[in-house]
Amino acid sequence: MSTLPLVAVVATAANGVIGHVGGMPWSVPSDLKRYRALTMGKPMIMGRRTLESIGRVLPGRDTIVLTRASALPFEGAILAKSPDEAVALAARAADRRGANEIVIAGGAEIYRAFLSRTTRVERTVIEAEPPGDAFFPDLAAAGFRLVAEENGAADPRDSAPTRYERWERASSPR
């Protein structure tokens, strides 16, 4: 088992929505820049539907996809069949890259599957309440505490203002 910290990177609406009909129900270019900065050079674990919504393997990052599918239509994606296998593959990728953490990149099922192992959450809160069909868990109820908060970087193309939050596990991950 890897000793590298697992860090969830997520954007949620104020109402906890992270997705709607296979996509994000907002357009926030400033958060995409933050996402890139937080994930560049690190292995990312995500689900198949999240990879499909992105549409490609992101450059400069190893993409480990946890799925029951037997193959992936994305060149460069690494297939994992279990959470333990995904973490082991990500740890090897981190070692190759010299990364000091593993990113949990969604979607909802993946965040839930890894929440008990996650040590930190980098959350962008989109100040809107869109409809959705995928939600992020309540962090306080899951044993996390808010340790930092600031207003997000503004971009005139953003559909809503943002707030950045850092949450850390109040006790050791299980």
Tell me: the pLDDT tens digits for 24-52?
Answer: 888 898 899 999 999 999 999 999 999 99
Read off the CATH number of the domain in which 24 is found. 3.40.430.10
pLDDT of residue 72: 80
pLDDT of residue 22: 81
Please indicate, yes or no, if residue 134 is contained in any of the structural domains.
yes
Question: Does residue 96 carry a pLDDT above 90?
Answer: yes
Question: What's the rounded mean pLDDT across residues 86-102?
Answer: 97
Question: What's the rounded mean pLDDT across residues 57-84?
Answer: 93
Question: What's the rounded mean pLDDT across residues 142-162?
Answer: 92
Domain span at residue 161? 6-169
Please indicate, yes or no, if residue 26 is contained in any of the structural domains.
yes
Please indicate, yes or no, if residue 64 is contained in any of the structural domains.
yes
Query: Residue 172: pLDDT band by 50, 70, 90 thresholds?
Result: low
- What's the total number of domains in the chain? 1
pLDDT of residue 2: 67
Q: Is-above-0.75 flag for pTM? A: yes
What mean pLDDT is reported for the chain? 93
**Residue 125's beta-bridge partner residues?**
12, 163
Question: Does residue 75 carry a pLDDT above 70?
Answer: yes
Q: CA end-to-end span of the chain, whole Å? A: 12
Please indicate, yes or no, if residue 174 is contained in any of the structural domains.
no
**Residue at 117: amino acid letter:** R
Phi first, then psi: give them for residue 168, nearest 5 degrees: -125, 150
pLDDT of residue 73: 78
Q: Is 171 exposed, middle or buried (0-12, 13-18, 19+ CB in 10 A)?
A: exposed
- Shortest CA distance to 16 belongs to which of 153, 117, 116, 140? 140
Please indicate, yes or no, if residue 1 is contained in any of the structural domains.
no
Dihedral sign (CA 133, 136, 140, 142): positive
Q: pLDDT tens-digit profile of 103-151?
A: 999 999 999 999 999 999 999 999 999 999 999 999 999 999 999 999 9
